[in-house]
Chain A
Amino acid sequence: MRTLAILLLLGGLCLARLAAAHHSFAAVFDGEKAVKVTGEIVSVEWTNPHFHFSVDVKDSAGAVQRWRFEGYPPNMLVRQGWKRDETLMAGATVTVEGWAARDDSKLGAVRWVTFTDGRKLAGGPPAGTGGR
Chain B
Amino acid sequence: MLPRIVLASAVAVVVLSSAPLAAQPSAERAAPRTAAGKPDMSGIWVATGAIMLFEGEEAFAAARAADAAAGRPPGNSNEAPPYKPEAEAQRQYFLSRRGIDDPMAQCLLTGIPRINFRPLPFEIVQLPDRVIMLYEIHHAFRIIPTDGRGPPEDAEPSYLGESVAHWDGDTLVVDVTSFNTQTWLSGVGTIHTEDLKVTERYTRDSFDTIRYEATMEDPAVLTRPWTIRETFRLRPNERIREYECIESNEDLVRFQQLLEEGATEKTP
Contacts and interface: CB of A to CB of B under 8 A. Distances in A.
Contacts of A20: 119
A19 B100 CA distance: 13
B118 A47 contact: no
Contact of A22 (B107, B254, B264): B107
Main secondary structure, interface of B, reads loop
A132 B52 contact: no
B247 A49 contact: yes
Interface string B93-137: 000011110101101000000100111100000000000000011
B249 interface: yes
A125 B268 CA distance: 20
Contact of A26 (B53, B249, B268): B268
Contacts of B187: 130-132
Contacts of B78: 17
A129 B187 CA distance: 10
Q: How large is the interface on A (under 10, 10 to 19, 20 to 34, 35 or more residues)?
A: 20 to 34
A66 B249 CA distance: 21
A18 B251 contact: no
A100 to B, nearest CB: 14
Given A24-B188, A28-B251, A132-B114, 7 more contacts: A22-B104, A22-B245, A23-B99, A24-B105, A26-B268, A78-B241, A125-B119
Interface of A: 16-24, 26-28, 45, 47-50, 52, 70, 73, 75-76, 78-79, 102-103, 122, 125-126, 129-132
14 contacts: A17-B78, A21-B245, A22-B137, A22-B249, A27-B97, A27-B102, A48-B247, A48-B249, A49-B107, A49-B243, A70-B250, A75-B241, A79-B54, A130-B187
